[in-house]
Amino acid sequence: MPEPHRTTRNALTRRRLLAASAGAAAALGAAGFPVLQTGSPAISRGRLRAEPLVPARNRGIILFSVRDRIGAAPDDSGVPYGFERVLARLAEIGYKEIEFAGYNQHASILGRQITPAEIRKILDDNGLVANGTHTQINAATFEQQLDIAETLGMRHIGTGSDPTGSAYRPDWDAAADLWNELGRTARKRGLKLYTHNHDAAYGFLLDAGPLDAAGRPTRSTGTRKLEYFFTKADPRYVFFEMDIYWSYVARFKHQTYVDQWGNSRTDLFDPILTVVPRTERFPLFHAKDGDRAAAQANGYVMTPLGEGDLNFQQFFEEIGAQNYHHANWEQDTAPGGAANPGQSLSFAELSYRNMSELTIYRR
Domain 26-33+47-362 has CATH 3.10.440.10: no
Q: CA separation (Å) from 38 to 19, 211, 312?
A: 7, 49, 13
Q: Could you tell me what percent of the chain has a pLDDT over 90?
A: 85
User: Residue 303 and residue 4: Cα distance in Å, rounded?
Assistant: 11
DSSP letters spanning 21-89: -HHHHHHHHHTT------S-GGGTTT-SEEEESS-GGGEEEEGGGGHHHHSPPP-SSSS--HHHHHHHH
Average pLDDT, stretch 197-222? 97
Long-range pairs of 4-10 with CB within 8 A, sequence gap ≥ 24: 4/304, 4/343, 4/346, 4/347, 4/349, 4/350, 5/303, 5/304, 5/307, 5/347, 6/307, 6/350, 7/307, 10/291, 10/303, 10/306, 10/307, 10/308, 10/309
Which of 46-60, 145-159, 162-176, 319-333 is the least confident region? Answer: 46-60
The whole model's pTM is what? 0.89
Closest C-alpha to 95, from 362, 284, 269, 353:
353
User: Residue 122 and residue 102: Cα distance in Å, rounded?
Assistant: 15
Per-residue confidence band for 176, with pLDDT thresholds at 50, 70 and 90:
very high
The pLDDT tens digits for 76-110 are 999 999 999 999 999 999 999 999 999 999 999 99
The pLDDT tens digits for 297-355 are 999 999 999 999 999 999 999 999 999 999 999 999 999 999 999 999 999 999 999 99
pLDDT of residue 275: 98
Average pLDDT, stretch 22-39? 50
Per-residue confidence band for 293, with pLDDT thresholds at 50, 70 and 90:
confident
Q: Is the pLDDT of residue 45 over 70?
A: no
Residues 6+ apart with CB under 8 A from 133: 99, 100, 101, 145, 148, 149, 152, 154, 156, 157, 158
Domain boundaries, the chain: 26-33+47-362
Q: CA separation (Å) from 235 to 3, 180, 197, 256, 313?
A: 44, 9, 17, 29, 27
pLDDT of residue 10: 44
pLDDT of residue 29: 56
Q: In one letter, which amino acid is 352?
A: Y
Cβ of 213: how many Cβ atoms within 10 Å?
Answer: 5
The pLDDT tens digits for 266-283 are 999 999 999 999 999 999
* b/e burial code for range 48-78 (CB count within 10 A of at least 16 → b): eeeebbbeeebbbbbbbbbbbbbbbeeeeee
Average pLDDT, stretch 2-7? 42
pLDDT of residue 48: 83
Q: CA separation (Å) from 256 to 77, 203, 348?
A: 49, 9, 36
Burial class (CB in 10 A: 0-12, 13-18, 19+), 130: buried
Q: Is the pLDDT of residue 212 over 60?
A: yes
Roughly how many angstroms between the first and final C-alpha of the chain, as a whole number? Answer: 43
Phi, then psi, of 33 in degrees rounded to 5: -100, 150
Q: Is the pLDDT of residue 160 over 70?
A: yes
Mean of the per-residue pLDDT values for the chain? 90
